[in-house]
């Protein structure tokens, strides 16, 4: 084997009862490179990584690591072989310190067999200095941001003297500035000879960070190329197996914007946002942009009755409306797709069918409280067909579906409530390009039929590609409400950082002086 090769996986096959998850795939990573692994949800990326770290045993195929042929090994064995994985879903111990999380189960001991906290502190500082991280080793994790917790997970991986680190969607909850810091650290690891497998649905990150890319589709190997020899269009086509001509298909529909359906007047919750005012029209997609912590999600939760507003008015179809609970919102034609489908969206242990009808379950009850299971099955089947949800059957547990198909189930679930207003918070987070396009088309169709949509998104290309108007928030306030004509990401970022503010007292004072 070439001395420059760190990992070689050859003809790897993994089958589960009735399913071929990986079909004779190849994957090779060089020493000291950042190698992207791409594919739609369900392409086999996660399965391959679970085989690599010993969570799954391969059904067939061969694996070499650092020149040695390896087989029949466990997750503990993979750590000893210096393979570490940072999972998309972080699971830190929040009530312990930074250094206790890093050395959990491996704490240094003194001669009396007690934990040597001073040595643990010094060991942690040495690791931080290695990649230029400035975090107090004694800080409690519950007081840290998601970005810093992500950095600590990287440090933990390095603490095992990792030769290979797998990063699965590491930037899904980070701000742009935090992403920049993560990239600096990742490049520093590369300079130290550590190899990185980088999994992400954000293609712009792949081009900025990675040296090579391997693409999977439907459990099969497609191709491996240097990043300098591939473009975005080719990459997407290889992932989805077809040419995607229009990622944002909103312009395919000649949607007419109608009258104001929702009018929000100076609402506040006393903590996260204040004096929020905007309107939403029939057939409109109203984008909400802003940095993490700007208060966008909190506004949406209050509109849906999750959290109360302390002042202000909500007017729907010219009627002042009190929304104190989620039932009030649903009764007034509002649906809410939450930003975290795993925690607050799906019922993982229930079937696809029952997840589909969960928000409208009362409509299937007889006067005696019995469920009309025939109607449930008929409606579930109809929506599975309409939305192209890929599932073995409606009886399949939703946790076994890909992220994109779970998201389609959630959108269909809310459409079953027959809403007029849909609030979609990060509707394509953690979803592959092909599934994104399908969800965008669904949104465009809904707007075309007169539905009013609020879309909260941290992805500026998505906001610009799908919105008719864009509301930008900064630190709990609206700084701009912009017509989506001639806008670019730079302008939105200026509003999102507070550099521009159309509604500040200072701006108003200047305007008044100009009028005088």
Condensed to tens digits (0 to 9), the pLDDT of residues 391-432 reads 888 989 888 887 778 888 888 888 888 899 999 998 887 777
491 vs 478: CA distance, rounded Å: 15
User: Collapsing DSSP states into helix, strand and coil, what is residue 340?
Assistant: coil
Residue with tokens 């770290």: 53
Extended beta strands in 17-50, E state = 19-30, 34-38
The predicted-structure confidence for 341-383, as pLDDT tens digits, reads as follows 767 778 888 899 889 988 888 888 887 888 888 888 998 898 8
Please, what's the b/e burial string for 368-388 (b: 16 or more CB within 10 A of its CB; e: otherwise)? eeeeeeeebeebbeebbeebe
Sheet holding 334-337, edge to edge: 334-337, 421-425, 452-456, 285-290, 469-474, 477-483
Instruction: Report whether pLDDT(10) > 90.
Output: yes
Percent pLDDT > 70 in the chain is 95
What does the mean pLDDT of the chain come to?
88
Q: Quote the crossing angle between the two packed helices 433-448 and 403-415, to the nearest 10°.
A: 10
Residue ranges of the alpha helices (H) in 289-432? 296-303, 326-331, 341-344, 352-357, 373-387, 403-415
pLDDT tens digits along 275-329: 999 999 999 999 999 987 789 999 999 999 999 999 999 999 999 999 999 999 9
Q: Which of 156, 184, 153 is nearest to 169 (CA)?
A: 153
Pick the CATH number of 258-333+423-516 from 3.40.50.970, 3.40.50.300, 3.40.50.920, 3.40.50.720: 3.40.50.300
Q: Looking at residue 268, what is its pLDDT? A: 95
Strand partners, 16: 19
Dist CA 287 CA 469 (whole Å): 6
Q: What percent of the chain has pLDDT over 90?
A: 50
Q: How far apart are CA 352 and CA 146, in angstroms?
A: 31
| 3-class DSSP state of 363 | helix
User: Which pLDDT does position 512 carry in this prediction?
Assistant: 43
The torsion angle over the Cα atoms of residues 167, 170, 176 and 179, rounded to 10 degrees, is: -30
| pTM score | 0.67
Q: Which CATH superfamily is domain 5-240 in?
A: P-loop containing nucleotide triphosphate hydrolases (3.40.50.300)
Predicted local distance difference test score (pLDDT) of residue 484: 94
The domain ranges of the chain are 5-240, 258-333+423-516
- Rounded to 5 degrees, what are φ and ψ at 143? -95, 0
For range 492-503, the mean pLDDT: 90
Q: Give the Å distances, CA to CA, from 426 to 90, 267, 454.
A: 19, 22, 10
- Mean pLDDT score, 31-46: 89
CA distance 322 to 316: 10
Domains 5-240 and 258-333+423-516 in one fold: yes
């Amino acid at each position: 084997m070439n001395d420059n090769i760190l990992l070689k996986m050859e003809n790897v096959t993994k089958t589960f009862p009735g399913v071929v998850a990986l079909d004779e795939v190849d994957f090779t990573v060089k020493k000291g490179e950042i190698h992207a692994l791409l594919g739609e949800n369900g392409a086999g990326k996660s399965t391959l990584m679970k085989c690599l770290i010993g969570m799954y045993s391969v059904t067939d195929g061969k694996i070499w690591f650092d020149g040695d042929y390896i087989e029949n090994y466990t997750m503990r064995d993979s750590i000893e072989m210096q393979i570490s994985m940072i999972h998309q879903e972080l699971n830190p111990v929040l009530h312990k310190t930074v250094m206790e999380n890093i050395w959990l189960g491996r704490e240094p001991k003194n001669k009396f067999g007690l934990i040597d906290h001073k040595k643990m502190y010094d060991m942690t500082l040495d690791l931080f200095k290695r990649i230029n991280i400035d975090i107090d080793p004694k800080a409690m994790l519950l007081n840290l941001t998601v970005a810093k917790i992500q950095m600590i997970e990287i440090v933990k991986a390095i603490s095992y003297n990792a030769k290979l680190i797998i990063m699965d969607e590491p930037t899904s909850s980070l701000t742009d500035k935090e992403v920049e810091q993560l990239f600096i650290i990742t490049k520093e690891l590369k300079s130290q000879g550590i190899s990185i497998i980088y999994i992400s649905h954000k293609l712009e990150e792949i081009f900025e960070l990675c040296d090579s890319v391997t693409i999977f589709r439907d459990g099969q190997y497609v191709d491996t190329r240097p990043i300098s020899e591939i473009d975005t269009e080719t990459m997407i086509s290889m992932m989805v197996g077809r040419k995607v001509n229009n990622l944002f298909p909103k312009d395919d529909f000649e949607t007419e914007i109608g009258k104001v359906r929702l009018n929000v007047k100076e609402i506040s919750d006393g903590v996260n946002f204040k004096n929020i005012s905007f309107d939403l029209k029939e057939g409109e997609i109203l984008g909400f942009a802003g940095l993490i912590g700007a208060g966008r999600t909190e506004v949406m939760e209050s509109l849906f009755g999750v959290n109360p507003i302390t002042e202000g008015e909500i007017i729907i179809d010219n009627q002042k409306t009190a929304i104190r609970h989620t039932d009030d919102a649903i009764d007034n034609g509002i649906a809410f797709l939450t930003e975290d489908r795993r925690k607050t969206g799906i019922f993982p242990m229930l079937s696809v069918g029952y997840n589909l009808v969960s928000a409208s379950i009362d409509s299937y009850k007889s006067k005696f409280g019995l469920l009309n299971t025939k109607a449930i099955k008929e409606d579930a089947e109809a929506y599975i067909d309409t939305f192209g949800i890929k599932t073995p059957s409606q009886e399949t547990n939703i946790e076994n579906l890909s992220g994109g198909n779970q998201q389609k189930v959630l959108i269909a679930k809310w459409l079953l409530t027959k809403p007029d207003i849909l609030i979609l918070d990060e509707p394509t987070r953690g979803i592959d390009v092909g599934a994104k396009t399908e969800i965008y088309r669904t949104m465009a169709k809904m707007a075309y039929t007169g539905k009013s949509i609020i879309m909260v998104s941290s992805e500026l290309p998505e906001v610009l590609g799908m919105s008719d108007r864009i509301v930008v928030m900064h630190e709990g306030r609206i700084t701009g409400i912009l017509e989506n004509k001639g806008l670019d990401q730079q302008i939105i970022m200026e509003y999102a950082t507070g550099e521009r503010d159309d509604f500040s007292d200072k701006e108003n004072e200047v305007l008044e002086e100009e009028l005088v």
